[in-house]
Amino acid sequence: MFFFYENRNGLVAQLAEEAIKSCHALYSPTIPVGKVSLQKRKPLFTIIDDDASTHTQSILYTIAGELGFKFGSCVILDRPQNNTPVFLNWDQLRTLQSDGHEILSHTMTHAHLGLIPESQLDYELGTSRDILLQQGFVARHFVYPGGSYVKNNACEKTDTSVLNKVRNYYDSAWVINESINKGELFNNYKGLLIGFDALGTLGSAKAAVDQIFANGGWLVLMMHVFQPQWATPKNRKNYGI
Ligand SMILES: [Zn+2]
């Protein structure tokens, strides 16, 4: 199965810090651009599971416990708030956190940020962070639902109004892009995820891991453990995501 480069608490937070530091160093006046990059650093490997379904606990948490790795779980906040069946409740999320897994915000309602009025962004971003805080989770990182981070999901991705708002609340934000994060290209508000579900095979996931060991970079795999290859088709239907 999978492993992390290293097991430690707050893995996503700490790796983000390292990557962000190295990328800031890229533009530091004392370090010539291009001399420091993720390519030249040790390989970094993170797993994030989407949507915090009960399968996160029954499948991924179990595997992680057996093999000794940590993962990030991104939470749609209205699910635990409303005790929605098939999603993790507050106690289950606390169990994950107390075992060293990391909780990330994934908005209040799974809204695609590029498609909602700007006036709702504070609710989706800020209220979700604040509720996590009230419940004892320091969520410093965010995953864009549906990969939506520009207004109207425009092809022209120069619009930064969503990203600017995300910056007010989080240290990093992540979007599926099927690429490995490299120093010169790394933008911590457009951190790149490879969708393991889309990637399909264990062989292609292993190939991505081989790449970071050969060339450096930060591989962040995103998975949905409620999907059929992890759970049953019947289970997947229950989530309506
Ligand atoms: Zn999601």
Cα(178) to centroid(ligand 1), Å: 16
Cα(35) to centroid(ligand 1), Å: 36
Q: Are 157 and 150 contacting, i.e. CB atoms less than 8 angstroms apart?
A: yes
| Structural domains in the chain, sorted by start | 11-237 (3.20.20.370)
- Residues 178 and 5: their CA atoms lie apart, in Å, by 20
Q: Are 164 and 131 contacting, i.e. CB atoms less than 8 angstroms apart?
A: no
pLDDT tens profile 158-201:
778 899 999 999 999 999 888 898 876 678 888 989 888 755 67
Cα(4) to centroid(ligand 1), Å: 22
- Pick from 198, 216, 194, 199: which is nearest to 43 by CA? 216
Cα(145) to centroid(ligand 1), Å: 5
pLDDT tens profile 55-75:
899 988 988 898 888 999 999
Using the predicted structure, report yes or no on whether residue 238 has a pLDDT greater than 60: no
Near ion ligand 1, which residues have CB within 5 Å?
A: 50-51, 145
